[in-house]
Amino acid sequence: MVHPGHWGVRARVERFSEPALLLLLRERPAHGYELLEALPALTGESRVDMGNLYRVLRALEEDGLVTSRWEAGEPGPAKRIYELTTEGKRLLDEWAAALRRSRDRIDTFLERHEGR
Site string for a second copy, 23-42 (x = CB under 8 A): x------------------x
The phi and psi torsions of 82 (rounded to 5 degrees) equal -100, 145
- Are 31 and 82 in contact, with CB atoms under 8 Å apart? yes
Please state, in angstroms and as integers, the Cα–Cα distance from residue 26 to each residue in 15, 83, 103, following that order.
18, 8, 22
* Closest distance to a second copy from the beta carbon of 32 (Å): 16
In the complex, the residues that contact a second copy under the rule CB under 8 A are: 1-3, 5, 7, 9-16, 19-20, 23, 42-44, 55-56, 59, 62-63, 65, 91-92, 94-96, 98-103, 105-110, 112-113
